[in-house]
Chains A and B, each alone.
Chain A
Amino acid sequence: MNYAIQVCRKSWILGMSEVRKLLHDPTELITRAIQPILWLGIFGEALSKVRAIPTGDYSYMQFITPGILTQSVVFIAIFYGLNIIWERDMGLLQKLLVTPTPRLALVWGKMASAGIRGLCQAVIVFLFALVLGVPLILTPLSALWVVVIVLLGAAIFTGLSMVIASIVKTRERFMGIGQVITLPLFFASSAIYPISIMPAWLQTVAYLNPLSYMVDALRELLVSGSLVQLPTDTAILVVTAAAISCLSAYMYPKVVM
C-alpha cells in the first residue's frame, strides 16, 4: 500500500515537472501540431474526394479523424525512448535512479509526460476537425473517456519505446528502429482504412496491434456513438499498459549499464 502511494505521488511529481517544461517552452506543441493538420487537411480531404475507401455510414473525414489523433499520440510516445537515451547521455537519468524513487514511478512519469503532450494534440486535432466541419460527438462523458484512451495509448507506446531503448542503448540504433516500426504500426491498423479491406495476414497483424484498439475506441466515442466494443477495447488497453509498465520498469534502469 505504502509502495502504491509512493509510486503515484512520485509519478505525479515527475509528470508535473514535465508540464512546467512545456509551460516554459510551448513552441514544441505548435510544431507538433503541423503533422496531424497536414494529414487531416491534405490526405484526408484528398481521399474523401476520391471515395475509394468504404467507411459505411460515415464520411471519410469522420473515419480518419480518430485515426489521425491516434497517430499523432503514438508518434509522440514512440520517441520517448530517445528521450531516455538522451537523459542517460546527459547524466540526468543516473541522478534520478540514485534517488529513492520507485522505478515504476520513473516509467509512469514519462508516460504521463507523453500523455499530457498527447492530450494537447487531441485538442488541436479536435479544433482543426471543427474548422473543417467534420461532425464529431462531444459530450462530457465522451470527452472524459477520450482522455482516458489517449493516456492509455500514450502509456503503451511510451513503455514500448523505453523497452526498445533499454535494449538498443544508443541514439543511432534507436532512430533506425523507431523509423522502422512507426509506419508499420500505423498502416497495420484501422487508422486510415477499415481492417475489413486488408489481406488476411495483415488483418491478423492489425488485431495484435494495440493501436487498432485505440483507434477503435476513439472512433466509437467520437464518430459512431455505439459503444458496444468500448469496454473490450478499454480493457485490452488497460491490460497492455499494465504489462508494458512492469516490463519497462524492469528494463529501464538497464539503459545506464
Chain B
Amino acid sequence: MDDQDLIRVENLRKHFGDVKAVDGISFGVKHGEAFAFLGPNGAGKSTTIRMLITLTQPTGGTASIDGLDIVRKSAEVRRRIGYVPQLISVDGTLTALENLLLMARLYDIPKREGIDRAKEILSFLELENQHDALVRTFSGGMIRKLEIGQAIVHRPKVLFLDEPTSGLDPVGRQNVWKHILELRKTSGTTIFFSTHQMEEADAMSERIAIMNQGKIATIGTSDEIKSAAGRPDGSLEEAFIELTGTNIEEGGSYREARRMRQVEKRLG
C-alpha cells in the first residue's frame, strides 16, 4: 500500500454472531482505478462495501477513504462517496429530474446549481427526453443509469456499485457500463464495483480482488491472478476454481437468493 491509495483497508472484520462475514481483509485501491470485487453470493462483498460506505460498523480492523477513517469521520466520508445499491434505489413515484434534485439538495448543492447538474447528468446518461417522466415507467437499464446519476450529483471521489448489472439484459448491461467507463474517463472518478460475473470483472477493471468465505483469496490484475493459479492462458473462471476450490455459482444463502430474484423481477 502506498500514498496513492484512495481506499485503504486493514484487517477489516465483520462478524454476525458466530458468522464471520468478513474475516480480516486488507487491500488498497488507487486514485482513479477501476477495482472489481469478485466472488460468489455470500462471500462478504456486500458486507465489505456496506462498511466502506458507513452503513455498518466493522467488528474490528480499520478502513479509510481519502485519508478519512470510515468510523470516526463517517460524515466526511459520506460527502466523498457515491453508492449505487444492488437494489432499486430511485423513487418510482417521482420524476427523473426530481429524483436527481432530491439527492442534490441532500448533498447541500444550491438549488439552481442542482438543476444545472441534474440536467447535465440526464443528458450525459442519454435520458434528456425523460426529465419529467415518472421513474416507474422506466426500463431496468434506464433505472440503473438514473441510480448512477443520483450517486454522482455531488461529484464523489469514488463510486461504489454493488452488482451494477445484475438483473439487466445484455443490451442494458452494455449501456450501463458504457456510461460508467465514460464517467471515469471524463471525471477521473474511482470505480469500486462488486460482481459475481467473471467476464465483467475481467473486462471492466484494472485490478480484481477475489473474495471467498469472508477472505480475499487473491488480488491483482486479471493476468496476475491467472498466472498465480498456474493457468496463464486459461480463463478467470478456471483461476477462480483453482484458487478457491469452489464454483462461483454455489455460494449464497436463502436470503440472498431471494433478494437476487426480487431484483431481477423488478428490473426485468
| A89 partner residues in chain B, CB cutoff 8 A | 87, 262
Cβ of A98 and Cβ of B87 under 8 Å apart? no
A256 — nearest CB in chain B belongs to which residue? Answer: B55
Cβ of B85 and Cβ of A17 under 8 Å apart? no
A95-B85 contact in complex given A17-B94, A20-B98, C-beta closer than 8 Å: yes
Picked from A21, A24, A94, A100, the residue with its CB within 8 Å of the CB of B87 is A94
B79 — nearest CB in chain A belongs to which residue? Answer: A100
Mask, A73-96, CB within 8 Å of B = 1, is: 000000000000000011110111
Cβ of A90 and Cβ of B89 under 8 Å apart? yes
Judge whether B198 is part of the interface by a CB distance below 8 angstroms.
no
Cβ of A99 and Cβ of B103 under 8 Å apart? yes
Picked from B78, B85, B86, B90, the residue with its CB within 8 Å of the CB of A99 is B78
Smallest CB separation, B261 vs chain A (Å)? 13
| Chain B 14-50 residues near chain A, CB threshold 8 A | 50
Instruction: Provide the main secondary structure of the chain A interface.
Output: helix
| Chain B 70-98 residues near chain A, CB threshold 8 A | 75, 78-79, 81, 83, 85-91, 93-95, 98
**Count of interface residues, chain A, beta-carbon cutoff 8 Å:** 23
Tell me, in angstroms, the Cα distance from A13 to B102 when the chains sit together: 7
Judge whether B54 is part of the interface by a CB distance below 8 angstroms.
yes
| B105 partner residues in chain A, CB cutoff 8 A | 13
Pull 12 A–B residue pairs with CB atoms less than 8 Å apart, ordered by A. Answer: A20-B94, A21-B94, A89-B87, A90-B88, A91-B89, A92-B90, A95-B150, A97-B55, A98-B54, A100-B79, A100-B107, A253-B55
Cβ of B107 and Cβ of A92 under 8 Å apart? no
**Count of interface residues, chain B, beta-carbon cutoff 8 Å:** 32
Smallest CB separation, A114 vs chain B (Å)? 16
Cβ of A100 and Cβ of B85 under 8 Å apart? no
Compute the total of residue contacts between A and B using a CB distance below 8 Å.
70
Judge whether B134 is part of the interface by a CB distance below 8 angstroms.
yes
Judge whether B53 is part of the interface by a CB distance below 8 angstroms.
yes
Smallest CB separation, B49 vs chain A (Å)? 10
| Chain A 223-257 residues near chain B, CB threshold 8 A | 253, 256-257
Cβ of A91 and Cβ of B94 under 8 Å apart? no
Smallest CB separation, A190 vs chain B (Å)? 36
Tell me, in angstroms, the Cα distance from A98 to B86 when the chains sit together: 14
B150 — nearest CB in chain A belongs to which residue? Answer: A95
| Chain B 220-258 residues near chain A, CB threshold 8 A | none
| B262 partner residues in chain A, CB cutoff 8 A | 89
Cβ of B83 and Cβ of A257 under 8 Å apart? no
| B87 partner residues in chain A, CB cutoff 8 A | 89-91, 94
Cβ of A17 and Cβ of B98 under 8 Å apart? yes
A94-B89 contact in complex given A99-B106, A99-B107, C-beta closer than 8 Å: yes
A24-B134 contact in complex given A13-B106, A96-B106, A98-B81, C-beta closer than 8 Å: yes
B53 — nearest CB in chain A belongs to which residue? Answer: A98
Judge whether B56 is part of the interface by a CB distance below 8 angstroms.
yes
Which of B86, B94, B106 lies at the interface centre, i.e. has the most chain A CB atoms within 10 A of its CB?
B106
Cβ of B93 and Cβ of A25 under 8 Å apart? yes
Smallest CB separation, B93 vs chain A (Å)? 4
Tell me, in angstroms, the Cα distance from A13 to B134 when the chains sit together: 19
A92 — nearest CB in chain B belongs to which residue? Answer: B89
Judge whether A10 is part of the interface by a CB distance below 8 angstroms.
yes
Smallest CB separation, B46 vs chain A (Å)? 10
| A90 partner residues in chain B, CB cutoff 8 A | 87-89
| A10 partner residues in chain B, CB cutoff 8 A | 106
Picked from B56, B83, B95, the residue with its CB within 8 Å of the CB of A95 is B83
Cβ of B91 and Cβ of A98 under 8 Å apart? no
